[in-house]
A and B are shown apart, each in its own frame.
Chain A
Amino acid sequence: MSKTTKTGSLVDAKKMSAELFTLTYGAFVTQMLKDYEDPQVVTAKLDKIGFDMGTVLADDFLAKSANVPRCQDCKQIAEVLSKLAIPNYLGVPATVSNWSSGDREFSLIIESNPLTELVEIPDHLKATLNYSQVIAGAIRGALEALHFKVYAVAVENASNTEIRIKLDSILKDSLPAGEDY
């Protein structure tokens, strides 16, 4: 359901209310928490859903923005993600910061994350549930479709959402998208 929403925001004619989107995602996550009972499993599932969305979105994104060059390093990946991909699909901009481990690791800061609008995560879930992990998963999936293997984790800060991305390796060209070694 959130998949259609995200692609929907790219096509102007099919925009939906941000509130409906937030509530839908919220209901979805809380229902998963009830069903699986373990917040860590829910985080993993959200990551998987995001990953599946990402593998599809990568193609969609590149088809719609033809003049994106092939990224050579992490700096370029961060630039494209923060300036093009995230504003396109999420409707809000992101900023890049916290570079570390020799420019292979960085954070994307999303200031007004539409997923967490009105959401207050209870204290006992803060450590184990990554509420916006679906975004991190989508980034991981999209980059994997483009042969970059990354680790992505979504962390909720007090006022923003931080997506920590770490480039692991560049996959061999022949590998089909969405499959691990």
Chain B
Amino acid sequence: MTAAKEFYFVIIGHEDQPIFEMDFSSSDKKKKESESRHLNQFIAHAALDVVDECALINNTMHLKQIDKFNEWNVSAFVTMGRIRFLMLHTQRCDEGIRQFFQEMYETYIKYSMNPFYTIGSAIKSPAFEQKALIYGRKYLV
């Protein structure tokens, strides 16, 4: 039996604050969300230093897999505006994550052009969440 595919996606702003978080899982979604989110946040936070280091030496925005903690792999994407996208995943899925990051990057750019949104504040838009969910289903789970 293969382990369940699990993903935790977070967008992180300039002051290391989370802007947007979402879980994706191939098994029951709601249950997982409350169980392991604090651990996910911890792993993501721990990976930030590595992300920053990688971002300095790499010219590409997509940094691929950069860190590992127990069963969680960490992939990262740093936008031109230094907004960091992190993805924690239990199974390798490079191509899907790359496409997901790309789509989310576009969605994020569009959303940040909204005059009612200030850069770095938490994203609370249901439309944005919906899009993340759709792309998550399409490319990840």
Question: Which residues of A approach B to under 8 Å, CB–CB?
Answer: 19, 22-23, 26-27, 29-30, 118-122, 125
* Chain A CB within 8 A of B58 CB: no
Measured between C-beta atoms, what is the minimum distance from B129 to chain A in Å?
12
Contact partner of A29 (CB less than 8 A), chosen from B113, B115, B125, is B115
Q: Is the interface of B mostly helix, strand, loop or mixed?
A: loop
The list of the 4 closest CB pairs from A to B, nearest first, reads A26-B115, A118-B113, A30-B115, A120-B114
Q: How many A-B residue pairs have CB under 8 A?
A: 26
Q: Who on chain A is nearest to B115 by CB? A: A26
* Chain A CB within 8 A of B39 CB: no
List residues of chain A with CB within 8 A of the CB of B117.
120
* Chain A CB within 8 A of B127 CB: yes
List residues of chain B with CB within 8 A of the CB of A121.
116
* A30 contacts B116, C-beta separation under 8 Å: yes
List residues of chain A with CB within 8 A of the CB of B115.
23, 26-27, 29-30, 119
How far apart are the CA atoms of A30 and B110 in the complex, in Å? Answer: 17
Name which of B110, B114, B125 has the most chain A CB atoms within 10 A of its CB: B114
List residues of chain B with CB within 8 A of the CB of A29.
115
Other A-B pairs, 10, CB within 8 Å; known A26-B114, A120-B111? A22-B113, A29-B115, A30-B115, A30-B116, A118-B110, A118-B113, A118-B114, A119-B116, A120-B114, A120-B127
Q: Who on chain B is nearest to A30 by CB? A: B115
Measured between C-beta atoms, what is the minimum distance from A123 to chain B in Å?
9
How far apart are the CA atoms of A19 and B125 in the complex, in Å? Answer: 21
How far apart are the CA atoms of A179 and B112 in the complex, in Å? Answer: 41
List residues of chain B with CB within 8 A of the CB of A125.
116
Within 8 A of A (CB), among B100-122: 110-111, 113-117
